[in-house]
Amino acid sequence: MNCKKQFPFRVGTTSYIIPDEIIPNIEYLKDKVDDVELVLFESDEISNLPSESDIARLSDIGQKHELTYSIHLPLDVYLCSFDPAIRERSVEKCRRIIELTEVLRPSAYVLHAEAGQGMDVNQFSKEEKTAFSDNFHTSFEKLLSAVSVKASEFCVETLNYPMQLLDKVISSFDLSITLDIGHLELYGYPVQEHLVRYLSRTRVVHMHGIKNGKDHNGLQHMRAETLNLVMQALHENRDQARVFTMEIFSEDDFNTSCAELMKYST
Give the helix, strand, coil percentages of the chain, each rounded to 5: 50, 20, 35
Q: Bin 174: left if φ > 0, else alpha if -120 < ψ < 50, else beta.
A: left
Q: What is the pLDDT of residues 153-165, one digit of tens each?
A: 999 999 999 999 9
What would you report as the CA-atom Rg of the chain, rounded to the nearest whole angstrom?
A: 18
Given CA atoms 237, 38, 72, 250 in this order, what sign does their dihedral have?
positive
259: three-class secondary structure by DSSP? helix
In angstroms, the CA 205 to CA 242 distance is 8
Domains defined for the chain, CATH in brackets = 10-264 (3.20.20.150)
In angstroms, the CA 36 to CA 237 distance is 22
In angstroms, the CA 98 to CA 87 distance is 16
Confidence of residue 1 (pLDDT cuts 50, 70, 90): confident
Q: What is the mean pLDDT of the chain?
A: 97
Query: In this model, does residue 245 exceed pLDDT 90?
Result: yes
264: three-class secondary structure by DSSP? helix
Q: What is the pLDDT of residues 73-127, one digit of tens each?
A: 999 999 999 999 999 999 999 999 999 999 999 999 999 999 999 999 999 999 9
First to last CA, the chain: 16
In angstroms, the CA 76 to CA 4 distance is 32
